[in-house]
Amino acid sequence: MYLKDKSSPNYELPATQFITMMESITINTFKVKHLSLLLCLCFQTGIAQQEWRNPLEFPLYLAGNCGELRPNHFHGGIDMKTQGVIGKAVHAVQKGYVSRISVSPWGYGNALYLTHPDGTTTVYGHLERFAPKIADYLWEQQHQLERFAVNLYLTPEQLPVEEDEIVAYSGNTGSSGGPHVHFEIRDTETEELIDPLPYYMHLIKDTRPPKITGLMIYPQAGKGVVNGKADKQELKIAYDAQGKPFIQARIEAWGDIGLAIRANDYMNETGNIYGVKETILQEGGEVLFRAYINRFGFDEIGISIV
Residues found near Zn ion in the complex (CB under 5 A): 79, 182, 306
182 SS3 class? strand
CB of 96 to Zn ion, least distance (A): 21
**Residue number with CB closer to Zn ion (35 or 197):** 197
Distance in Å, CB of 215 to Zn ion, minimum: 28
Q: Which of 293, 300, 281 is nearest to 4 (CA)?
A: 281
Min CB(173)–Zn ion separation in Å: 12
Type of residue at 87: G
Residue 60, phi then psi, degrees to nearest 5: -85, 120
Least separation in angstroms between residue 301's CB and Zn ion is 12
The Cα-based distances of 240 to 16, 17, 102, 234, 237 in angstroms read: 12, 11, 51, 19, 10
Cβ 182 to Zn ion shortest distance, Å = 3
Q: Is the distance from CB of 237 to CB of 211 less than 8 angstroms?
A: no
For Zn ion, give the closer residue by CB, 116 or 182.
Answer: 182
**237 vs 267 by CB, closer to Zn ion:** 267
Separation of first and last alpha carbons in the chain: 26
Residue with smaller CB distance to Zn ion, 79 or 278: 79
Residue closer to Zn ion, measured from CB, 281 or 306:
306
* Least distance between Zn ion and beta carbon 171 (Å): 13
Pairing status of strand 2-4 against strand 26-28: parallel
Neighbours of 283 (CB within 10 A): 18
Rounded CA gap, 254 and 116, in Å?
A: 54
Shortest Å distance, C-beta 206 to Zn ion: 19
| Residue 167 · residue 90 · CB < 8 Å | yes
Q: Which is nearer to Zn ion, 54 or 220 (CB)?
A: 54
Nearer to Zn ion, 186 or 253 (CB): 186
| DSSP SS3 for 200 | helix
Tell which residue, 278, 273, 135, has the closest CA to residue 195: 278
